[in-house]
Structures are given as C-alpha cells and as structure tokens.
Amino acid sequence: MKEEESAGIPRLMVSAPAKSSGKTTLAIGIAANLSASGWQVNSFKKGPDYIDPAWHRLATGNECYNLDPWMMGPDGCRSSFIRHSGISEASLSLIEGNHGLHDGMSLDGSDSSAGLAEILQTPVLLVVDGHDAGRGAAATVMGMQAMPPSVTIAGVVLNRVRSERQAEKQRRAIEQYCGIEVLGSIPIDRLLTIPERHLGLTTVAETATAGEFIRNAAATVAACCDMEAITRLFFSAPHMAPRLACCPRQRSANPKARIGVFRDAAFSFYYPDNLEALEHQGAELVFIDSLAAAELPAIDALYIGGGFPESFFRELTANHSLMQGVRSAAESGMPLYAECGGLIYLSREALYRGESFPMAGVLPFDIGFTDRPAGHGYLELESTTGSPWFTKGERVKAHEFHYSSTTAISGNPLWQFTVHRGKGTTGRTDGIIQRNVFASYAHLHAVASPGWAPAFVSAAAAYRTAAA
C-alpha cells in the first residue's frame, strides 16, 4: 500500500515475547529516525509507566501517552489514542508494549499488549532476543502468533544476536515457518542498554548521556534495520478515523486556580493526561523545582507526584525553607495532592540506607525502605468516606510500585480508601486525609478516574476564593 493511499491513523506497536528484550531501545530508535525524516511521531506506552515515556518524549519532542486497558478500559484506550494521534498527513502513531506481548492479569489476555493491539487494530513489530537461540526463534514467534488475543505480527527484528550466521539461521526459520519478514538484526552492544534500577529503567533526568544514547539507538536501527519497510508497516493498519469529530480540549483563558506542581529530577512521575486534565478544568499549572526553589510561588494548591525522592534526600532536606513553606501551606488549608514520592516528602522523616532524613512533617508517620517491593502492581480501591477528593462508595483503579512503607503512625488518621487489591499505605487502607491534604501510594490516571481533575481544581478554586 502506498503511504498516500492510507486513510485514518497509521500506527504500529513494538512488542516482544518477554520483558527486557529491547523494546524500548528499538522503539526510541525507530521514533528518532522517523522524527529526523520529517514525520510527526505520536508515541504511546502500554501500561502504567512513567520512565519509558520520558525516553520517548526525548526521542520525538512530543508527549508520550499511556494506554492501559485494565485501568482505562477499551473505550478509554481507544478515545485517548485517537485524541492524541495527529491528523496531519505526516503523522505516525507508535505504541510500545509492556512486558511480553501476551502478558497480563486476565487469562483471556484482554489487558495484555496483544489485547491493546486488538482494541486498536494495530499491527505488531516483534522484537525477539536472539542471543541464545537458533532456528528455535521461529517457535517463539509461532507461539506469539497462535496465542489469543489474535494479532497481526507484521514484522520481526532480531536483537542481541551474536553473529551474522546466527541471525541468518533465525531469519530463514522465521520467514519459512511463520511467514513473517525479518526486518533487521541488531548485534549485542552494551551501549544500547539503558541502565536499570529497582523501579525499571533509569530516568532521563538522571541519565547525563540520554541524548547520546538516543543518537546511538537511532544510528544502530538505521544501520541494522530496514526503516523503509518498518515505515510501511504503519500504513498496513486498517482504517481508524482520526479525531475529526472530537472537540479539541481547550485551556481556559481565565484560570480558576493556580496549581503548583513539583517537577524535577526527584519528582518526575506525572501522566500527561493528568496535567492536561487539570488545565482543561481551568487550572493554570506552575512547575516548581523542589531541589532549587527556596519558597512556594503564589499558588492555590500543590500537586506532588511520584519519582525518586530517595535519590535526592540530601538535596531535599537541605532545602528546608521550601519544606517549611509546604508545611505552612498545608496548615493554612491549601489543597495538597501527593502520590507515592509526594507522600514520602510530606512524612515526618525517612529512614534510607541507615540514615534518617527529616521530611516536611505534614503527615503523622515516618517512612522506611526495604530491598524488596512493599507494593507492586495494580490497586483496586473503594472510597469509604466522602471528601473534597472522592465521593463515598467510589471505586478506583490505580497502580503502585514502591519500596517504602509507613511506620510509627501516630493517632487515628482518616483514610479515604479500603484496599481490595494491592498494598496501599497500610495493607488495608490508602489515601490519608488531613485538613485539605490527600496523600497515597496510589498512582491515578485521569482517564480512569475522570472525577479527579474536577475535584482537584474545585478544591483549589475554593481555597483561592476563601483566601481572597
């Protein structure tokens, strides 16, 4: 099919039989090449991930949006994908899967990367780690083809191959037995591995050589893969109407409130959808560097997301004037919304690797860290009380990934949620409410929790009015 004859949204998913196969490296290498060739690449990441999207954003210059069937549902994924896919003739939509193609919670695979590919009718470029394989690589690909949900595996790229001879053996077997063209083979290269840490890949903000890595990935993909053939795969997707009938979301010309957002190397975990949802509800966002700002600017509410505050405890505690400002803001009744890393920042103190670090002292507990995840995976929560943030009886789907836990809880705090799945803050509850402060280990997505942004902006506007 010629590119100019394709209608709708040209799209492609990059996935793999298993995690740590090289999906992110290939995806950002493809994205960087396409961007350099003049394409507008709209990128997406399947699942609840903050780190990979930041690498996509650096490679393309555009935001990378999350798509999660379990949290957002099929309709939420479909509408978000259409809304964030470009409608120009030079737009391509690239989705990076998570874990293995068929990995997910549901036995039927509906919430896997394959399930998302089925929802979006998107062809898949499969990355196969060929390091220890021969012709058996074809058996792996055949298994991916046969396993439901049924998806179109439109091409294969071999990764981490040891020699041209090994790659040729795999290529011939895959093309003969699977009927799929192998579009590239990438040799083992330690420079093409993003360092990993306890929560996944190292963040862009912490990687001084991030730009160099993306340039290396782009050069390697261009040299080892057939980029023309890969580009054609985008146009093999069946027609999906772009957002011609969707009303574009507009930012308010007269903001209802100013919401401060800690956004820096310590606190970088924010879904673009969440920030945009606040703006679309009438908020003006004011970004704050928690490591450098001496005080809070003139704001009506504060949003502290997740990240790696433990990597910056010395810098955070050294900035005691900002911590004092946050504590004073909370005592004044300013709405504060904190997730995971934000919850840690608002605690009394954090014990990390044998050292104690004083925190903002807003919440009545300390934080301790362990070598194993204290909470990891999806959360199912039920609101057991009404608050400015959530209504009583509201069910919330979210996710958590933390190596820390609350300790030495004082008094009898009020908790927003009962935990039906996951760990949350105490194992039974999550979402502490104190004055107008809400803090939890749960990471919410605005599409999955559509009432969150209106409630946040409403609380901020009420505070603004009261303070006037």
* Tens digit of each residue's pLDDT (9 = 90 or more) over 95-118: 999 999 999 999 999 999 999 999
Task: Give the model's pLDDT for residue 245.
Answer: 40
Question: Within a 10 A sphere around the Cβ of 438, how many other Cβ atoms?
Answer: 24
Q: What is the pTM of this model?
A: 0.92
CATH of 257-467, picked from 3.30.70.890, 3.40.920.10, 3.30.530.20, 3.40.50.880, is 3.40.50.880
Cα end-to-end span (Å), the chain: 61
Domain ranges of the chain: 11-235, 257-467
Q: In whole angstroms, give the CA distance from residue 446 to residue 304.
A: 15
Per-residue pLDDT band for 196 (boundaries 50, 70, 90) equals low
Residue 334 has pLDDT above 90, yes or no: yes
Kindly list the catalytic residues.
340
Give the CATH class of 11-235.
alpha beta
**What is the average pLDDT value for the chain, to the nearest integer?**
92
Q: What mean pLDDT do residues 148-172 have? A: 96
pLDDT, tens digit, 9 for 90 and up, residues 340-378: 999 999 999 999 999 999 999 999 999 999 999 999 999
Q: In whole angstroms, give the CA distance from residue 415 to residue 440.
A: 9
Q: Which of 74-78, 83-87, 190-194 has the lowest mean pLDDT?
A: 190-194
Task: Give the model's pLDDT for residue 247.
Answer: 44
Residue 1 has pLDDT above 80, yes or no: no
Per-residue pLDDT band for 275 (boundaries 50, 70, 90) equals very high
Short-list 270, 268, 249, 263, CA closest to 444:
270
